[in-house]
């Protein structure tokens, strides 16, 4: 009997070992352990996920495979090689759809342009493209930004310049863009940008949803699904965030309907109709100082712009799915930079080191603390 049991145990271990060997990938990026795959190394280094993935990818020539625990479907190909990026986002775009798994992870974004594929995406893309390129939308956007600069940004910076207190410029810009995007897209300003830095539920909910989406990328699907079912941990926060966002958006739609009815009644009134909508740190691309925050790398010796193809700097994505708001973002950036630089000296506090936060949007974990002083004319 004992002999039979030992035999069964040996056969089971041999079978598991064969499955394990068959699962092994050809270009593993970490050591793969039985049962748990490569997950332990990711979890141990989660606190420095961006630096760690950059360093590991560099050691493996820019590309490699990740396999999660064997009872999950966490099998990923990771790359920071610009030629692979170009291949996937541009040259063979149609082979690399986002797919149902992406839609599940990004479910907070609904079924719109960000998660759609194929014909549904093409339809949305054409629609958004025609709206964004419309002259009246650009004019409306510029007016909205000007108003926000004058009524909120400058009073806030004046207040901090007078009080000589340190201000978190990242928080200021986040609030600015959030108010601005809500005004242009939903027609309502949530007024996050204000001297007292109020805690605004929908801004918090939006940031929370982005963090939860990041979390869904690094834990096995059954874990976050279970948390969702039990309504615990990150998934509880995700449900609450989605509820807050839905309530806000539905109330915007309802008031927009009211506005449209009034607009139809007074067609002659002048009205602007608004619209309802690892950065790679590669030494080969950016040079030896690729890990440093150096905005001046975009300025040539003669003072012009340094051009880098979008597949090497994918902040706005590349290929047919590149960001439709890129031009609008640059208009906003220039208007804000001009408004600030001609009025204030801005100095980053001494000893500040920028470290990335864990989210799907690359932000600085501790913000960007600066001192602001008024310029003397």
Q: Tokens at residue 180, please?
A: 């601005």
**Cα–Cα distance list, 65 to 27, 30, 32, 216, 310 (Å):** 6, 8, 10, 18, 24
Q: Look up residue 227 and give its two tokens.
A: 């948390």
Interface with ligand HEM, residue 63, by CB under 6 A:
no
Q: List the one residue from 50, 58, 125, 188 that touches ligand HEM (CB under 6 A).
A: 125
Q: Which of 34, 187, 233, 325 binds ligand HEM (CB under 6 A)?
A: 325
Q: Among 291, 305, 307, which Cα is nearest to 356's?
A: 291
Packing angle, helices 326-341 and 169-186, rounded to 10:
130
Q: Applying CB under 6 A, does 214 fall inside the site for ligand HEM?
A: no
Minimum distance from CB of 330 to ligand HEM (Å)? Answer: 9
Options 24-32, 44-52, 78-86, 320-328: segment touching ligand HEM (CB under 6 A): 320-328
- For the record, the structure tokens of 88 come out as 């996937």
Instruction: Provide, rounded to whole angstroms, the least separation between the CB of residue 10 and ligand HEM.
Output: 49
Q: Do the Cβ atoms of 152 and 176 come closer than 8 Å?
A: yes
Of all residues in this chain, which one has the CB nearest to ligand HEM in the complex? Answer: 325
Exactly one of 113, 249, 290, 358 binds ligand HEM (CB under 6 A); that residue is: 113
Is residue 37 classed exposed, middle or buried when 0-12, 13-18 and 19+ CB atoms within 10 A define those classes?
buried
Minimum Å gap between C-beta 130 and ligand HEM is 12
Helices 169-186 and 201-218, axial angle in degrees (round to 10): 100
Nearest to 253 by CA among 174, 311, 195, 185: 185
Closer residue to ligand HEM (CB): 103 or 343: 103
- The contact pattern for ligand HEM, residues 72-111, with x = CB under 6 A and - = no contact, is ----------------------------------------
Residue 321 touching ligand HEM (CB under 6 A): yes
Which of 123/222 has CB closer to ligand HEM? 123
DSSP 66: E
Contact 224, 230 (CB under 8 A): no
Shortest approach of ligand HEM to residue 146 CB, angstroms? 16
Residues 299-318 that bind ligand HEM (CB under 6 A): 315-317
Residues 6+ apart with CB under 8 A from 214: 358, 359, 360
**Closest distance between ligand HEM and the C-beta of residue 181, in Å?**
6
Shortest CB 331 distance to ligand HEM, Å: 10
Write out the binding residues for ligand HEM, residues 153-192 only, by CB under 6 A: 181
- List the one residue from 56, 88, 226, 323 that touches ligand HEM (CB under 6 A): 323
Instruction: Tell me the two tokens of residue 244.
Output: 């807050």
Contact (Cβ atoms closer than 8 angstroms) between residue 343 and residue 374:
yes
Closest contact distance (angstroms) between CB of 116 and ligand HEM is: 8
Selection from 330, 325, 362, 371 nearest residue 114 by Cα: 325
Chain residues that interact with ligand HEM, rule: CB under 6 A: 113-114, 125, 128, 181, 315-317, 321, 323-325, 328-329
């Amino acid at each position: 009997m004992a002999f039979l049991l030992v035999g069964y145990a040996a056969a089971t271990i041999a079978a598991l070992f064969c499955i394990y060997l068959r699962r092994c990938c050809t270009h593993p990026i970490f050591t793969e352990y039985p049962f748990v795959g490569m997950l332990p190394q990711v979890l141990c280094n989660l606190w420095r996920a961006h630096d760690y993935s950059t360093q590991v990818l560099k050691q493996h020539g820019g590309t490699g495979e990740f396999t999660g625990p064997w009872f999950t479907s966490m099998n990923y190909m990771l790359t920071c090689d610009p030629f692979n990026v170009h291949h996937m986002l541009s040259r063979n775009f149609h082979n690399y759809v986002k797919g149902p798994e992406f839609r599940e992870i990004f479910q907070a974004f609904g079924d719109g342009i960000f998660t759609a594929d194929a014909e549904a995406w093409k339809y949305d893309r054409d629609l958004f493209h025609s709206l964004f390129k419309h002259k009246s939308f650009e004019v409306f956007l510029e007016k909205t930004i000007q108003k926000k600069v004058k009524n909120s940004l400058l009073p806030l910076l004046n207040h901090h310049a007078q009080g000589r207190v340190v201000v978190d410029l990242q928080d200021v810009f986040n609030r600015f863009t959030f108010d601005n995007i809500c005004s242009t897209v939903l027609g309502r300003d949530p007024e996050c940008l204000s001297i007292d830095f109020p805690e605004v539920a929908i801004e918090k909910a939006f940031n929370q949803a982005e963090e939860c989406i990041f979390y869904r990328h690094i834990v096995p699907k059954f874990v976050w699904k279970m948390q969702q079912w039990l309504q615990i941990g990150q998934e509880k926060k995700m449900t609450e965030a989605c509820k807050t966002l839905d309530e806000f958006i539905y109330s915007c739609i309802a008031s927009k309907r009211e506005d449209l009815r009034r607009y139809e009644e007074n067609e002659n009134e002048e009205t602007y109709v608004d619209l309802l909508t690892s950065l790679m740190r590669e030494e080969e691309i950016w040079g030896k100082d690729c890990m440093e925050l150096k905005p001046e790398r975009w300025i040539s010796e003669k003072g012009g712009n340094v051009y880098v193809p979008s597949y090497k700097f994918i902040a706005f994505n590349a290929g047919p799915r590149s960001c439709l708001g890129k031009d609008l973002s640059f208009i906003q950036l220039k208007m804000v930079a001009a408004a600030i630089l001609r009025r204030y000296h801005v100095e980053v506090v001494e000893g500040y080191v920028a470290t990335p936060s864990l989210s799907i949007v690359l932000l600085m974990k501790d913000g960007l603390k600066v001192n602001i002083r008024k310029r003397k004319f």
